[in-house]
Amino acid sequence: MMHKGENFNHPVKGTRIEVEPIREEKDIKSILQFLSGKPRDFLLFTMGINNGIRAGDLLQIKVGDVRYLRAGQVHQIIESKTKKKNIVVVNKAVRKALDIYLADGEHKEDQHYLFQSRKGDNASITVQALHALIKKWTSAINLKGNFGTHSLRKTWGYQQRVKFGVGFDVIAKRFNHSDPKTTMVYLGIEDKEVHSVLMNEIG
């Protein structure tokens, strides 16, 4: 039973619950629908679940890094945590979201951060602010669980594995994990979960 002021998608004080991926495609679509009138947040969510990079790296992208990329092209980054090379991919979904966001041109010079703070001082939003946004979005669609900044990254990995059947070794390489078992634990996926999805009949 919830008490006044409690957040049902936040762990109980004193406990530690791993941040989860968004597992159901219908929930992803519901969040996209909820964000449809907010171009910055729509792009942020879309780019996050389509790339699988850490939130801190996502928030360091500048307008000029991606403005001119066509679908299928990439922007190379150096991960802030690992100092390893990685890439940001602009697929069709990201390109469409980019076009909508950049259409008004306001405060979107090439040197500006792509995901600017509302303060208007050309600072990107913070990781903490993104964490709060993700909790707001998941609460808005009544999605139960513990969600935060890693949920975007985990959602990418989870969907790649469960929906598209991508191997843990490939996802591990994208995450810069040294061992695919680390990736399996990180995503909270077990082989039986993949098997149950593959038993779904199509057609």
What are the distances in angstroms from CA 35 to CA 8, 20, 64, 149?
Answer: 21, 20, 24, 17
Are residues 186 and 157 in contact, defined by beta-carbon separation less than 8 angstroms? yes
Rounded to whole angstroms, the Cα distance separating 69 from 65 reads 8
- The answer to whether residue 10 is domain-embedded is no
Say what the pLDDT of residue 119 is.
Answer: 76
**Reported confidence tier of residue 195, pLDDT bands at 50, 70, 90:** low
If one counts the domains in the chain, the total is 1
By the 10 Å C-beta count (0-12 exposed, 13-18 middle, 19+ buried), 94 is classed as buried
Q: Does 17 score more than 90 pLDDT? A: no
**Reported confidence tier of residue 193, pLDDT bands at 50, 70, 90:** low
Per-residue pLDDT reduced to its tens digit, 23-67 = 999 999 999 999 999 999 999 999 999 999 999 999 999 999 999
Nearest to 102 by CA among 111, 93, 114, 90: 114
Per-residue pLDDT reduced to its tens digit, 108-157 = 899 999 999 887 678 999 999 999 999 999 999 999 999 999 999 999 99
- The answer to whether residue 2 is domain-embedded is no
Say what the pLDDT of residue 115 is.
Answer: 95
DSSP 13-25: TT---PPPP---H
By the 10 Å C-beta count (0-12 exposed, 13-18 middle, 19+ buried), 105 is classed as exposed
Say what the pLDDT of residue 192 is.
Answer: 63
Say what the pLDDT of residue 11 is.
Answer: 45
**Reported confidence tier of residue 1, pLDDT bands at 50, 70, 90:** very low
- The answer to whether residue 17 is domain-embedded is no
Look at the block and give the residue holding tokens 């939003």: 125
Identify the domain containing residue 179 by its residue range.
25-198
Q: Does 175 score more than 50 pLDDT? A: yes
- The answer to whether residue 132 is domain-embedded is yes
Quick one: tokens of 65? 């890094």
Q: What CATH number has the domain bearing residue 159?
A: 1.10.443.10
Quick one: tokens of 52? 């699988």
- The answer to whether residue 177 is domain-embedded is yes
- The answer to whether residue 12 is domain-embedded is no
- The answer to whether residue 117 is domain-embedded is yes
- The answer to whether residue 15 is domain-embedded is no
Q: Does 2 score more than 70 pLDDT? A: no
